Amino acid sequence: MSTTIFHNPKCGTSRNVLGLIRNAGIEPTVVEYLKTPPDHAALRTLLQQLQLPARAILREKGTPYAELDLGNPKWSEEELIDFIVQHPILLQRPIVVTPKGAALCRPSEKVLEILDQPQQGAFSKEDGEPVVDASGQLVCKD
């Protein structure tokens, strides 16, 4: 099984997660889900891997979440998945699937929990915040 990232190249968190994956020496399958959105069955499988309900992977910011009234508890799991299929921008990102598991990687350091290879060197986020030191160890935050 390979590593897959559901990626939006316009998202800084998604770019940082992709960088951390590559810093572990892994070249993932990159699914730009806005260009090639997952279908209903693929989303159902992804949710099973994440062990999350559809509501947990809905993105509100910059999406039609409010206009569609998706905060309303009347929507079933299947209906929420249908909304994501119809409007892939609703999919929270980045989601990463590896041989060790799947995770919604917010914050970006969350990806380190499911990578099956260690970091190979220093890594800083785009904003300059260090995540991994030169020896490949997670930088502790105060």
Active site residue ranges? 11
What contacts 110, CB < 8 A, 6 or more positions away?
Answer: 103, 104
Say if strands 29-32 and 4-7 run parallel, antiparallel, or are unpaired.
parallel
Distance between CA 73 and CA 76 in Å, rounded? 8
Q: Which residue has the tokens 């914050």?
A: 107
